[in-house]
Amino acid sequence: MTAKRYLLVAAVATVIAAPAIAHHSSGPFYDPTKKVEVKGVVTKLNIRNPHSFLYLDVDEKGKKVEWQVEMGTGAQLARNNLTVETLKPGTEIRVAGQPSRAEGSHGMCCIQLLMKADGTAILRGTVPKEPGR
Amino acid sequence: MGALACAALLATTMGAAGQAPATTPAARPAGQTPPPVASRFPDIAGMWNGGTRARPMNSENFPWTKTNFPVLNERGQAYMKAFDEAVAPKYDCVPSSSPAIQYDPYYMQVVQWPDRVVMRYEKDDQTRTIWLDGRKPTIHDYSLQGFSVGRYDGNALVVETDHFLFDITGFDDYNGIPSSTLKKVTERYWKENGELKLTLTLEDPLFLREPASYTTRWLPAAPGYQLEAWECDPESSRAPIKMMVPRYK
């Protein structure tokens, strides 16, 4: 896998099919004015409350780096047809969202694009990080 | 009573979701048939949808806006200024409390009994009991959700809650404002055009210069909706913290 990381302004959101839902509680952790996109291999999907997390291994200049993608509650994922069956370990995916703020961290939230490596869309639009927290 | 115990109790005493039990065994004298619930007090029972169809999602700006944001005293301002997101108890699955839990965008179930009203929140698996029988709190009744008493006033249920524990994020999840053991929350619930309305007023002389208030609503839930278990997972709850730039070293 080749990692590809972009930092773009929020205007990118205009090309996303579904409008982003404001999630201010993600502000301390993720930068809503930027976008990051990576390609990687799913290692696990933890469907939990108050947050579910998707983990993937990403090749960054020959080094394997674990990315942590924050997602919504189990019910929210189910409404978007996202289950552990959808994102089995070993699945190659592209995912884009808001990048984490901490230096050296590898995380994102508020997914704007999630697709398999062959281009099959898994999700397009924002998956709320976790409303109400 | 724990959320699970209460859920079990409700399950064994309720018929269809949202229907109030006719009475409690202890409250009914032998041989007497109680009047229908609806004739004795306003009916606000049911399953209610507090999601984004009902109101804007909670945030720094909702339900507290420029016009109703609380006026903090110096102590409140100092706490808010020093607040560090990483210490928020919610990242260890500590539930939210009044006045935040009422505005969290999830479902709520209301069950009316002759001597109490039970409010069960999908968010954080929380259950509040509002006592209507005149009982008073004791020193053992301090808790995260406080001690609630209620009365019916015309078409409304009025709830007064105190005996809260100090909560570093006791005001809401977003603004870093704490609440003290002197916090008092007054809620007025009524039905209007099939919706459940609430006006909530918050007092806390240790942090607020004057009471603050908001009004919101719930919509009727789809028929057959059942509350989902929250079952917060501490590990995933704290997982986002490492993505944040630490405020304090």
- Are A132 and B236 inside 8 Å of each other by CB? no
B229 to chain A: nearest residue by CA? Answer: A49
Residue A4 lies in a domain: no
What's the angle, vertex CA B51, arms to CA B47 and CA B52, rounded to 5? 150
- Mark B129-142 as b/e (b = at least 16 C-beta within 10 Å): bbbbeeeebeeeee
Partner residue opposite A70 with nearest CB, options B52, B106, B240: B240
Looking at residue A43, which CATH number applies to its domain? 2.40.50.140
Chain A contact set for B235 (CB, 8 A):
48
Question: Per-residue confidence of chain B (249 residues) as pLDDT tens digits?
Answer: 333 333 333 333 333 333 334 334 344 455 566 555 546 789 999 999 999 899 998 888 899 999 999 999 999 999 999 999 999 999 999 999 999 999 999 999 999 999 999 999 999 999 999 999 999 999 999 999 999 999 999 999 999 999 999 999 999 888 999 999 999 999 999 999 999 999 999 999 999 999 999 999 999 999 999 998 899 999 999 999 999 998 998
Residue A49 lies in a domain: yes
Q: pLDDT-based confidence at A124, cuts 50/70/90?
A: low
CA B81 to chain centre: 26
**Cβ–Cβ of B228/A23 closer than 8 Å?**
no
Q: Is residue A132 part of a domain?
A: no
Q: Return the pLDDT at B119.
A: 98
Q: In this model, does residue A24 exceed pLDDT 70?
A: no
In three-state secondary structure terms, A71 is strand
Q: What is the mean pLDDT of residues A93-108?
A: 96
Nearest chain A residue to B61 by CA: give it: A24
Asked, for residue A1, whether it belongs to a domain, the answer is no
Between chains, do B90 and A50 touch, taking CB under 8 Å as contact? yes
Whether B237 is covered by a domain: the verdict is no
Q: CATH number for the domain including B143? A: 2.40.128.20
- Is the Cβ of B231 closer than 8 Å to some Cβ of chain A? yes
- Alpha-carbon span A11 to B185, nearest angstrom: 42
Q: Which residues of chain B have a CB within 8 Å of the CB of A29?
A: 240-241, 243-244
- What is the domain extent for residue B180? 3-21+37-57+71-225
* Averaged pLDDT score across all residues of chain A: 78
What is the tally of structural domains in chain A? 1
**What pLDDT, on a 0 to 100 scale, did the predictor assign at position A123?**
77
C-beta separation of A112 from A104 below 8 A = no
On whether residue B230 sits in a domain, the answer given is no
Structural domain includes residue B216: yes
Flag whether B126 is in a domain.
Answer: yes
Give me the domain span that covers residue A102: 10-124
Structural domain includes residue A5: no
> B242 at the A interface (CB within 8 A)?
yes
Question: Could B236 and A49 be called an inter-chain contact, meaning their C-beta atoms sit closer than 8 Å?
Answer: yes
Q: Which residues of A touch B244 (CB under 8 A)?
A: 28-29, 100-102
Query: pTM value?
Result: 0.80
Amino acid B130: pLDDT: 98
CA B207 to chain CA centroid, nearest Å: 20
Which ipTM value was assigned to this complex? 0.75
Q: Facing residues of A53 across strands? A: A46, A70
Query: How many domains is chain B built from?
Result: 1
